[in-house]
Chains A and B, each alone.
Chain A
Amino acid sequence: MAASMSCKNVFQKISSASRSNLKRSYCQSINLTNAEVRRKRNEIFETEKKRQLGLITRMEKIQVDVKGPPEDCTLIMNKGISTPFNCSMHIQELLVNRSALALVNGEPWDMHRPLKEDCSIEFLHFLDEDPRIVNKAFWRSCCLVLGHVLETALQNQYYVELCSFPKPHLQSGSFVYDADLKLKDWKPTTAELNCLTRVGHKLHHLDLKFERLEVDASIALDMFQDNRFKSQQIPFIAESSGSKVVVYRVGDHVDISSGPCIASTNQIGRFNVTAAHQIDTPDYGKLYRVQGLGLPSQVMMHYWSYDILRRRAGKFNTAPLPRLKMESSPQTDDNNTEIST
């Protein structure tokens, strides 16, 4: 019943024009399904994105100094609309495909995040001289993709609620998503893990953008109303960042993360879901810690060495357990992107 109540609230937020076709999709059943909830989140994301774009009424120009290679150049772009991705499109196809992240005035910046002011840009990729920032962004993006996999792979009867993922830590050997899968004492077989892996690997071919959106806490609460973990976390996150919550969208999957993330799922070359361990958390009860391993498509590795990494990624990852308190809340922790590789 709580679910149907929450759906009603959503109707009030969304404009009346789209009401007729939304009504049928949300209230079909009392039991929530991931597909419905995802559709709802996506709608809210879409309307909010449109609203934010609508705020820009006058096209203003900014000057962007791009640092080579291939060469230094200056571009005149649209304020609040053009992204580093658009800048790279003016220069070279290689930059468009391989750039995972941009450094805007020395600050890591998503490729699909609009530029706000005059700035200098450098494009980063995975084989740079020092790719540590990009590596972290990659690990974080893989966590988002793992969330996507968990929400889409299971059948409708299992309403998966994603909890959170810890700070990206490459040395641990695996990226992690803690989630409530609504499965009792599940020990995944190799075949099951392979299925999950395949779902994730499909995203590589779909070439989905990682879109960043800064939304108000109230809108974020609307989005994640049906997720009991995220709806608890959002007030804490908003508190630390001044009532703003950063939300990412990959295809039709929406998740909270402070970012930055890589440009597209096409840049994830190898992807494996390696294990799911049961964990007991003080604040959220019993959860599954799902672990995975990925490599950028730019980085090649022999299958023999990859197999070593894959076996290691199956061992239990001892990253801190998800907690409600802000100090260790993963999304907020993620904010300070200090380099410790």
Chain B
Amino acid sequence: MLRFPYRARPRKMSRQRLPEEGIIVGQEGRLQRLRQLVTGLVRYERIETVYQHCDETRGYAERLIHTAIRNGDQHQHTMEMADYWLNEKDLIYKLFDVLVPRYQNYSSAFTNIYRTPIVYPGRGTEMGILELKGNPWPDVLPKQRDNRYVISNVLLQAARKDYNTSKESRKTKNELNSSSENSET
């Protein structure tokens, strides 16, 4: 169902410190953290956190959008899921009114994930960026210039093509020669 490679086992996510409830550890803490991240992703459409957390969140967020697209907002189970994963309840409207129409005809994943450089000096944490596709922010990666038509590349490409065709013709000629020798013997 998910359109990207994902990890089969759940990751252990470290303890969460929440303002009201104090420190929560274990499965409970993991889910708290994931709900926080999914909510943030739907709210801001791009979040930046530890890469492992991004990757873990990605599956849950995509799964939520998938079920929303498949079942619509009249489906009880889907509404329960949306209610569970989105801490801020106004985002339920956003899910069905904005994200579902946006991703209805997608044949790829709905999110992008990127690694960001490790900050030095620092704790050496691998950070990442998770974003919803079609978001209004500027691109994470700079636009790649198309340098196919730069004169040097045009010339080298032609030379490459020339070399390959000459190699092909040499090969066929050799084959022909060897076959004729065989027939003579």
- Chain A: residues with CB nearer than 8 A to chain B? 126-127, 129-132, 135, 138, 170-173, 295-296, 299-301, 305, 308-309, 312, 341
Residues 134 to 185 of chain B near chain A (Cβ within 8 Å):
145-147, 149-152, 154-156, 158-159, 162
Contact present for B149 and A131 (CB under 8 Å): yes
Tally of B interface residues using CB under 8 Å: 13
How far in angstroms is the closest Cβ of chain A from B150?
A: 6
Contact present for A130 and B149 (CB under 8 Å): yes
Question: For residue B154, which residues in chain A have a CB less than 8 angstroms away from its CB?
Answer: 135, 170-171, 341
Contact present for A170 and B158 (CB under 8 Å): yes
- Identity of the chain A residue whose Cβ is nearest the Cβ of B153 in the assembled complex: A299
In the bound complex, CA of A171 to CA of B153 (Å): 10
In the bound complex, CA of A135 to CA of B148 (Å): 12
Most-contacted residue by chain A among B145, B152, B156, B159 (CB, 10 A): B152
How far in angstroms is the closest Cβ of chain A from B163?
A: 8
Contact present for A309 and B151 (CB under 8 Å): no
Contact present for B151 and A173 (CB under 8 Å): no
- Identity of the chain A residue whose Cβ is nearest the Cβ of B159 in the assembled complex: A312
- Chain B: residues with CB nearer than 8 A to chain A? 145-147, 149-152, 154-156, 158-159, 162
Contact present for B151 and A170 (CB under 8 Å): yes
Contact present for B149 and A135 (CB under 8 Å): yes
Given A129-B145, A173-B162, A312-B162: A296 and B155 interface contact (C-beta under 8 Å): no
Majority SS at the chain A contact face: mixed
Question: For residue A132, which residues in chain B have a CB less than 8 angstroms away from its CB?
Answer: 149
- Identity of the chain B residue whose Cβ is nearest the Cβ of A134 in the assembled complex: B151
How far in angstroms is the closest Cβ of chain A from B183?
A: 34
How far in angstroms is the closest Cβ of chain B from A166?
A: 16
How far in angstroms is the closest Cβ of chain A from B147?
A: 8
Contact present for A126 and B159 (CB under 8 Å): no
Given A126-B150, A127-B150, A299-B150: A173 and B155 interface contact (C-beta under 8 Å): yes
Contact present for B158 and A173 (CB under 8 Å): yes
How far in angstroms is the closest Cβ of chain B from A309?
A: 5
How far in angstroms is the closest Cβ of chain A from B157?
A: 8
Question: For residue B151, which residues in chain A have a CB less than 8 angstroms away from its CB?
Answer: 126, 131, 135, 138, 170, 295-296, 299
In the bound complex, CA of A90 to CA of B138 (Å): 33
Contact present for A301 and B152 (CB under 8 Å): yes
Question: For residue B146, which residues in chain A have a CB less than 8 angstroms away from its CB?
Answer: 129-130
A-B contact pairs, 24 of them (CB 8 A): A126-B150, A127-B147, A130-B149, A131-B150, A132-B149, A135-B149, A135-B151, A138-B151, A170-B151, A170-B154, A170-B155, A171-B154, A171-B158, A172-B158, A173-B155, A173-B158, A173-B162, A296-B151, A299-B150, A300-B152, A308-B156, A308-B159, A309-B159, A312-B159
